[in-house]
Amino acid sequence: MAPFKSGFISILGRPNVGKSTLFNRLLGDKVAIVAERPQTTRNRILGIKNVEGGQLIFLDTPGIHRGRSELNRRMVGTAIASGRDADILLFLIEATDPHVEKDQEMIDSLQGCIGVPFLVINKMDLLRRQNLLPIMDQYQRLHSFEEIIPISAKTGEGVEILLDEILRVLPESPPYYPEDMITDQTERFWVSEIVREKIIHQSYQEIPYSTAVTIEEFKGHPEKNLVVIKATVHVERDSQKKILIGKGGQKLKKIGEAARKEVEALLGTRVFLELWVNVEKNWTQDPGVLNRIGYPSISNYSH
């Protein structure tokens, strides 16, 4: 019998290339939030996939970019830290929108990582196959990748091949996590992310970048098959608060309803979800507030 394999696989790349979509596709479940705009993911998110003969532990990460704010810098720090002790690094790029120079910078920032590097070319559903070779050529000159694999995280094309190659190079090791565990994120964090996703989907301009969600109360009432959740939505300015609440509270209500439905499906119970909007002036620049609301500065990180 082949020896059991297990290890950490970090998904890295610029914002919006489809890291979280691939992460969810690999896990066969929605564990991370996804949106059309960049900088959606802010934390490292761990997802566990058990296959025959192996346990694959995927790390979804924030997009690597030049940060304007302290939040941006912490996001990038989190991404780079989760590459540091991964066994495999999946560098994800977008087939229709490659940025060779920026990706060069990203790869440089991960120099010294011990993980086996793969180049994963995503969004192949949007590219003609004959346009693939020039991209592969450019990237081969950047770095020596163990594998270059074109995929579509959206349709699933190429994802099985990617999984096979991951399992091939993963080290021999007993599993790190129990077999029934799919993530290490808490239900509280999961709920806060769902609320944030609904806000991103239903708002414009700077609001998605200026919003954070914390859970103040999370109380189960098993006798009523009910969970009561109170969440705070932090924004940076009064004007943003006004926009999020909307006329007669309509907008916040819509966001809350969309989030509640998904949280009910996640928890398998009825949910009462109360949202409260709080202005936390310039929180994206404030180290103290960032620490408090779930975006710590990560320097000595390990999974």
Ligand X SMILES: Nc1nc2c(ncn2[C@@H]2O[C@H](COP(=O)(O)OP(=O)(O)OP(=O)(O)O)[C@@H](O)[C@H]2O)c(=O)[nH]1
Binding site for ligand X (CB under 6 A): 13, 15-21, 34-36, 38-41, 62-63, 122-123, 125-126, 152-154
122 binds, among Mg ion, ligand X, none (CB under 5 to 8 A by kind): ligand X
Distance CA 261, CA 212 (A): 20
Residue 181 CB, shortest distance to ligand X, in Å, is 22
Give 195 or 273: the residue with its C-beta nearer to ligand X.
195
Residue 256 CB, shortest distance to ligand X, in Å, is 22
Residues 12-51 that bind Mg ion (CB under 5 A): 19-20, 40-41
Give 123 or 234: the residue with its C-beta nearer to ligand X.
123
Residue 151 CB, shortest distance to ligand X, in Å, is 7
Q: What 3-state class would DSSP assign to 145?
A: coil
55 binds, among Mg ion, ligand X, none (CB under 5 to 8 A by kind): none
Residue 69 CB, shortest distance to ligand X, in Å, is 15
Give 163 or 267: the residue with its C-beta nearer to ligand X.
163
Query: What would the two tokens of residue 205 be?
Result: 């301009």
Report the half-sphere exposure of 277 (CA within 13 A, side-chain side).
23
Give 39 or 284: the residue with its C-beta nearer to ligand X.
39
Q: What are residue 90's DSSP bridge partners?
A: 11, 118
Residue 191 CB, shortest distance to ligand X, in Å, is 18
Give 189 or 218: the residue with its C-beta nearer to Mg ion.
189
107 binds, among Mg ion, ligand X, none (CB under 5 to 8 A by kind): none
Give 5 or 123: the residue with its C-beta nearer to ligand X.
123
Please give the C-alpha separations between residue 275 and each of 83, 116, 135, 216, in angstroms, as whole numbers. Answer: 35, 43, 46, 10
Residue 61 CB, shortest distance to ligand X, in Å, is 8
Contact 47, 57 (CB under 8 A): yes
123 binds, among ligand X, Mg ion, none (CB under 5 to 8 A by kind): ligand X
Decide if residue 82 touches Mg ion (CB under 5 A). Answer: no
Distance CA 84, CA 76 (A): 13
Residue 15 CB, shortest distance to ligand X, in Å, is 4
Residue 58 CB, shortest distance to Mg ion, in Å, is 12
Summary count for the chain: helices (H), strands (E): 10, 9
b/e per residue, 205-219, with b = 16+ CB within 10 A? eebbbbbbbbbeebe
Distance CA 119, CA 254 (A): 40
Residues 247-286 that bind Mg ion (CB under 5 A): none
Give 41 or 183: the residue with its C-beta nearer to Mg ion.
41
In whole angstroms, what separates CA 275 from the centre of its chain? 23
Distance CA 224, CA 145 (A): 54
Give 40 or 284: the residue with its C-beta nearer to ligand X.
40
Distance CA 85, CA 79 (A): 11
In whole angstroms, what separates CA 112 from the centre of its chain? 23
Distance CA 201, CA 66 (A): 24
Q: How many CB atoms lie within 10 A of CB 283?
A: 23
Chain residues binding Mg ion by CB under 5 A are 19-20, 40-41
